[in-house]
Structure 1
Amino acid sequence: MIVCKFGGTSVASATQIQKVANIVKDNTARRIVVVSAPGKRSSEDIKVTDLLIDLADTALANADVAAKIQTVVNRYEDITAELGLGKDISEVIAQDLRDRVAGDRSNKELFVDSIKASGEDNNAKVIAAYFNTIGVPARYVSPKDLLIVNDLPERTFAVAEAYERLAVLAQSEEVIVFPGFFGYTKDGILRTFDRGGSDITGSILAAAVGAELYENFTDVDCVFSANPKVVNNPAEIKEITYREMRELSYAGFSVFHDEALMPVFKKDIPVNIKNTNNPSAPGTRVVPTRELTGRPVTGISVDSGFSTLYVSKYLMNREIGFGRKLLQILEDEGISYEHTPSGLDDISIIMRSNQLNLEKEERIVKRVQQELQVDNVYFRHGFSMVVLVGEGMRNSTGLAGRAALAISKLGVNIEMINQGSSEVSLVFGVQQNYEDIILKALYEEFFSAVPV
């Protein structure tokens, strides 16, 4: 059995959905299909998810939502008309949206989640209906009572019971069409996953049914070793380990959300990233282990939007519990951290900037000063993390020196260097405005004239 997930661009129009159908028909092992909401049909288009967010905001402002609902329905009608599905399913979608808008608004976040999730949910209904019209027996399945997630306030994840309940889908004789992005708590509350939520749903389903393969269909032939929007014709990655993909996804590789790998990683289920528009291309395989090549570095990625909390105190290293107390202050503000490079008398806590605001920063600085009696504490913003990733890095000497030299030749200051204990990634913190030229320089250093 193969579980396959199709992203927003893969299901953005009737033409794209027809491609999806041909892919499913081409291999009878493709028995479970996870779908996203319709994405952009062109660069100027608007995703259905964005239309739904606008609908939710309009509802919360107590404004007239009729026109907003019709705009969403029109997008689906464009698809269903071309697929020859008739008007009935459009009315089902319209009624579903009206019901959601009339739902409980006491928790605004959950209300918006419910509206957003209709994109995937209704698209799954459309695609299942179309499959049946072309001779592919299919059944839409709702996540309710199957994909059980945890309760608030933690971020959303599938609980153990979800895998037990979803396992029954392996027995279906029909193709299962399952909406991505969301699940339900035991009390029936809809909750959405983080960004890349449909990837997470697909991975959960693959693990639950013990799939032989999880295919993740997107709009590129493969994963590239660097961002092709910055580096011209970067090398293709034919095979990559879970750990390498996790590191690259964390640091900005948009093909795969880093959290999505965990369910299949635990079950050793390989992943194949493929192109809906070119399904014959082999794509990129994500596997537990792979043979090393002549390249120690598999990929280079860059992610922006980081801030640093710098703290210094003489004899900090001798003060028992200092780090714990510092991190407790961040925890009290609901902030997670990414890296903690430190010296004897100073430490930097690197975090995502979107967790901060001016009021939080002022509270944190004040508490650190008062409770830890430090010599200096302040925030700095506008950082990017440049990450070199590769299983072969563990067996390569001088790699950090080569990378640092390549960056220094640009006249750019390295703000932070961090290497994980696994030795498969090396992170450089730099000012955000230099990230593109650094990416190009590092790609030239590690990928030019190097044998595969």
Structure 2
Amino acid sequence: MKVIKFGGSSLADSDQIKKVIKIVSSDPQRKCVVVSAPGKRNPADTKVTDLLIRYANQAIEHNDFTNTQAAIIKRYQEIAEGFNLTTENFTPIKQAVIDLPKKEYPNDKYLMAAFKAHGEKLNAQLIAKVFTTLGIPARYLDPADAGMVVTNVPDDAQILPESYNRIAKWKLTTEILVVPGFFAYNTEGDICTFSRGGSDITGAVMARGLDADLYENFTDVDAIFSANPNVVESPHAIAHMTFREMRELSYAGFSVFHDEALIPAIQGNISVNVRNTNNPDAPGTMISSKIEPDKNYPVRGISASKNFCGLYISKYLLNKEVGFTRKILNVLYKNGVSYEHMPSGIDDITIIMDESNLTPEIERSIMTELQEAIHPDEMHIIHNYAIVMVVGEGMRNTVGLMARATQSLANAGVTLQMINQGASELSIMFGVSQDDADKAVQALHKEFFKLG
């Protein structure tokens, strides 16, 4: 069995969904289809999920939502009309949109989660009806019926382990299961959504639960590339990479997958094939647990993320002070801030954090409390901070790779604020200013992919 997931751009209108139906029908092993909400039909368009967020906010604030409600219904209606669905088939979907503000929710966060989830829920119901209308045996499988149960967090739910045994009961299905991505239900029966990349998470959960032979993730690109095509001209298409490489690159800005999205597939050792809905004959990128390194290309990919800041602390003999790091982490914990990395020297340490976790008030609180707790010689927060990652399974066996990387950055005029090599030796992290991030990626890509 194969689990196949389609993103929002693949499901934006009836013409795109016709491509989806052709792809699913071309392989009898494709028995579970995970769908996103309809995405943008053109660059100026609005995603259905964004319309639903607007709808939810209008309901919360008791503002008029008539136009938003009508726009959401129209998006689904256009898809239904593209397949000549009857009014009888479409009416339940229309009514579900209308009924959303009439329901009771534990609080506004759960209301928002329920509204957002209906982008996927209604699209899955609609696509299941399209399949059956075309004579293809299919059924809508709600996450509750699938057996998915999640933690009681409305907007960042985690799948509970017992879900997988329940999902396994659907393994012998003869129908095509059409499953909405992005959400499931908690133990109280309330809708909770996953974090970013939520439909990818659902696909990975279903793949693991069904013990799929392959998880195919269809999007709008032919492959995963060695660098962002918007930053590097004509980057290499990656034919095969490992889960570890994908995780490292996703963390630092690769946009194909959110870094948490593949964890269920990794845990189930289910290979993932990233494919293009608009070019389904392209082989795409295969992601699996192991790969034979390419000696010519020890680096698999290069990525950058500009949403970081660094807390720099200097104190003479800090390495001799027992509990020094713990005092720092206690202050961060009290202020609700997590850290990402902590490179250190004999007398200094840099705490790298997600910039979005800091407000001016939290920043002032952290600096005041740290001053009292550790009495640093010097301390400041470095804003305008970016992380650039160089990732590849072949790096650990390549002599001189660090020298090549730093020399290429020096030649490009990039000042390094931090260097950190991961414990697994499959990644090197460079801290640079945000202004230098793209320049750094370009220089590193030219160095490690110049053989192509």
Contact 2:243 2:289 in 1 (8 A): yes
Shift of 1:374: 2.4
Q: For 1:285 and 1:89, how far apart are their aligned partners in 2?
A: 38
SS in 2 for 1:330: helix
Q: For 1:253 and 1:198, how far apart are their aligned partners in 2?
A: 17
SS in 1 for 2:209: helix
Tell me what 1:375 maps to: 377
Q: For 1:104 and 1:345, how far apart are their aligned partners in 2?
A: 56
Tell me what 1:190 maps to: 191
Shift of 1:106: 5.4
> Alpha-carbon deviations, 1:345-368, whole Å to 9, x = none?
221111111111111111111111
Matched residue count: 450
What pairs up with 1:336-375 in 2 under 5 angstroms? 336-375=338-377
Shift of 1:112: 1.1
Higher mean C-alpha displacement, 222-231 vs 105-114 = 105-114
Higher mean C-alpha displacement, 419-428 vs 397-406 = 397-406
Higher mean C-alpha displacement, 152-161 vs 232-241 = 152-161
Letter in 2 for 1:83: F
Contact 1:368 1:377 in 2 (8 A): no
Contact 1:128 1:140 in 2 (8 A): yes
> Alpha-carbon deviations, 1:169-204, whole Å to 9, x = none?
212221000000011111112111111110010000
> Alpha-carbon deviations, 1:295-347, whole Å to 9, x = none?
11011111111111122222211121221221122122222221111112221
Contact 1:70 1:94 in 2 (8 A): no
Q: For 1:11 and 1:370, how far apart are their aligned partners in 2?
A: 55
Tell me what 2:266 maps to: 265
Tell me what 1:83 maps to: 83
Contact 2:155 2:192 in 1 (8 A): no
Tell me what 1:111 maps to: 111
Contact 1:73 1:90 in 2 (8 A): no
1:314 to 297, 313, 316: 316
Tell me what 1:398 maps to: 400
- Mark the CA change 1:274 to 1:103 in structure 2 (over 3 Å): closer, same or farther: same
Q: For 2:5 and 2:154, how far apart are their aligned partners in 1?
A: 28
SS in 2 for 1:260: coil
Structure 1 stretches lacking a partner, 5+ long: none
SS in 1 for 2:241: strand
Q: For 2:425 and 2:388, how far apart are their aligned partners in 1?
A: 15
Structure 2 stretches lacking a partner, 5+ long: none
Q: For 1:448 and 1:152, how far apart are their aligned partners in 2?
A: 47
1:333 to 332, 335, 340: 335
Contact 2:392 2:427 in 1 (8 A): yes
Tell me what 2:121 maps to: 121
> Alpha-carbon deviations, 1:238-281, whole Å to 9, x = none?
00011111111111111122212111111211110001111111
What pairs up with 1:51-62 in 2 under 5 angstroms? 51-62=51-62
What pairs up with 1:32-431 in 2 under 5 angstroms? 32-104=32-104, 107-144=107-144, 146-152=147-153, 155-293=156-294, 294-431=296-433
> Alpha-carbon deviations, 1:137-189, whole Å to 9, x = none?
11001112521111238942101111111111212221000000011111112
SS in 2 for 1:258: coil
Q: For 1:382 and 1:191, how far apart are their aligned partners in 2?
A: 34
Letter in 2 for 1:440: Q
Contact 1:223 1:255 in 2 (8 A): yes
Letter in 2 for 1:22: K
Letter in 2 for 1:333: N
Q: For 1:419 and 1:189, how far apart are their aligned partners in 2?
A: 43
Shift of 1:32: 0.3
SS in 2 for 1:382: strand
Q: For 2:282 and 2:154, how far apart are their aligned partners in 1?
A: 42
> Alpha-carbon deviations, 1:44-65, whole Å to 9, x = none?
1111111111111111111112
Matched, 1:5 2:5: yes
Q: For 1:282 and 1:230, how far apart are their aligned partners in 2?
A: 24
Q: For 1:367 and 1:106, how far apart are their aligned partners in 2?
A: 36
Letter in 1 for 2:244: R
- Mark the CA change 1:444 to 1:425 in structure 2 (over 3 Å): closer, same or farther: same
Q: For 2:57 and 2:262, how far apart are their aligned partners in 1?
A: 32
- Mark the CA change 1:102 to 1:312 in structure 2 (over 3 Å): closer, same or farther: farther
Q: For 1:398 and 1:409, how far apart are their aligned partners in 2?
A: 16
Q: For 1:45 and 1:87, how far apart are their aligned partners in 2?
A: 26
Letter in 1 for 2:221: V
Shift of 1:376: 2.9
SS in 2 for 1:264: helix
Tell me what 1:26 maps to: 26
Higher mean C-alpha displacement, 420-429 vs 340-349 = 340-349
Q: For 2:368 and 2:303, how far apart are their aligned partners in 1?
A: 35
Q: For 1:427 and 1:89, how far apart are their aligned partners in 2?
A: 53
